[in-house]
Structure 1
Amino acid sequence: MKFDFDLIIAGAGPVGLSVARLLAQRSATRALSVALVDQHAITPVGDPRTLTLSYGSRMLLEPLGWPDAATPIQCIHISQRGHFGRMLIDCRAHDLPALGYAVPYGALMRALTGNIGTIGSVRHLKRATARAPVQDAHGVTLPIETERGPQQLRARLLIHAAGGSSARASIEGARYSGRDYQQSALLGLVRVEMPRPCWAWERFTREGPLALLPVGGMRAADYALVWCGAPNDAQRRMACCDDALLAELGARFGQRMGRFIAIERRAVYALRLQRVEPCVQGRVTVIGNAAQTLHPVAGQGLNLGLRDAYALVDALAHAGPTPAALARFARRRRRDRTLTITMTDWLARAFSTRRAERFAPLYGAAFTLLECLPPAKRALVRQMMFGCRR
């Protein structure tokens, strides 16, 4: 039977690009032919988000393209506003150069896109929108809309790596479970009076987590802000003047780095959990944002998607572009997906409800206990950096 490609990857974000590049690198003999369906005309480098990549994700990405703009995170300070208990995670205690990295979305996209157009086994289809696929016993047909009109691509397997309605239609009968956190994240770039190089901060408040990530290099005074709260509060903060917003931010965060003296590049994103089960059906799989969308607390979303990408390419290397490879991939990823999604969801809810005030002393005691039990703390940190590999 004639196929246009061995694989179709719908979605050219960091996870989809990683799959395409990994496939090209891992092919020992004939590279699998890949259609990379990209809804954008050019690489979206102006996205205001700053991504948190774990040290484990750097190990996966470095052979593919690592951005020069990545700022190492060597210490993470975790606390809760108005209550005792804090936890400090230092990379030196884990014999690592960094726990993770703060990376501008555009910088990562530039690094991964790189020379993708010169890889002979990859056909990069830009300004193309995927529709609902149709699979049969032999392959998958994916209708796409392009500037030249509708087309149909035929392949042995389809990998859906982007969210949206087309991803939801990829697996017939899939269960889409989720949760509206009734929160929005205010993003921005803030400057502080007394920076601590390579420190990241996660501060739990009654309305939601507040994170500051170091950006701009080892000596910069700039931090990426992720401030989660009620949607109305996020919109109010989006609209208010700089001085008022910085004063409110200082009241929530405290004086650990002096005053907040400037803010720019504000944006607001709604927050919710969405999970797809099963993530594989026959010749189709969903990974990354198509499979799970997580709350930004602890910065696990993209790291989980990159582990999806690596495990999928490993399964394809062992079993080829077959349904058996996708089934192998699903079995291998089940435990890590479940644990990471459950942990992130719990953190998002535990510290962001009225009940959080009642349990705050218990959470503070848990932070203190982890500080006193290095093996337990080490196990938690390794899960955050590398996931569950079994």
Structure 2
Amino acid sequence: MSAIHPIPVGWVSTGGTGAQNYDEFADDAEITALVAANPDSMLGVEMPHRTPEAVADGLDFARALPAASARLESLVSRGKLAQFTNAIAVYRIGDHFLGMFCLVDTAEIGAGRVIRNEEVFAAKVAERTALIRSLGVLASPVLLVQPEAAGGDTLHDLLTATVDRLGEPTVSDVDQNGLQHDVWLIGPGTDQERLLAVAGTGDLVVADGNHRSLAAQQAGLDRFLAVVAPASSASIQPYQRLLRRLPMPLTGILEGLRAVGCGVHAVDEPPATPSRGTVVLYADGQTYEVKLPAVAGDTVDRIDHTVVEQLLVRQVLGLTPDHPSISYIGGDYPASWLTAEVDAGRAALAVLISPVTVEDFVAVNLDRATMPRKSTWFTPKARTGLVLADLESSR
């Protein structure tokens, strides 16, 4: 029996509701500004405590949840979301990304065909679980990538051929980077059957949405909303770190890194994302290149994010990766943004790390090993608020 299904009852945007996902921001104030500029943005539903009204009233996440439900009901009543039944949705981003919205069995996560092997933050999972239960709707998809098929029709080939035969999309949206997002609803029939069959072949790896997929499990859902895409459609950008406060002087950090086998050198250049095996630090107006020691072990042990977490965060700084002084900064924010945060005094140290390769990411997951948290910033990002699934159809 297939683990991939059409959406029995859902909603598709009629325009204006598409938004970045809640976890794509380095500063919650950006969310408030975006909702103020576009009250129909799904961010107002996904992050109800960050709407202008909630911020003015001092509401936390739990106390703002009723407003999230009211905002979603308003979008439906005003025709910003249109209901559909028994459909999947082909999804194109820009000229390269192709995938499909569908439902996937939560029972497949872990021991089954859906592989989720990245550390998560318990507090974020709790918020997502509470939101699911409050809304009765899944509004933000989990991105699942399918490794290349061994033979026969590939998902990419089939999606390409399907899009070439389709007319105007059901809805189009443009994101903050100028990329166009097109969605085509596909009801029962040959196209839907073939896409579900090919998407249901082989393993699927959680590329984006680790917290959302776990929240679906904790909410007791039988199925979760996903975008299934071939691994070739996605790429991984840098995922950096900012230390808002340091537990010791910078000199002690540099000495500590040398003591654990790193080569540390000051350089007269602005910080930039380094090549693999080197980490760049920036503090007090100075850039440092840190050559990481060779590490034995499996692929995950040799990933730079793993080495940084073990050597810099745990051994030298004496912190855990979920310490509140550590901010995880996704690839939408360039090195110059991190530099500006340090120079402005809003952070004490920037840590720039080489991005994980898609090949290494897939290899680690197929080995059922665990990726370090916040190590893969997949792009392009699926938009929240374009396709929603009714919760009762996911139980």
Coarse TM-score class (shorter-chain normalised): under 0.3
- Compute the TM-score of the two structures, normalised by the length of structure 1: 0.25
- Compute the TM-score of the two structures, normalised by the length of structure 2: 0.25
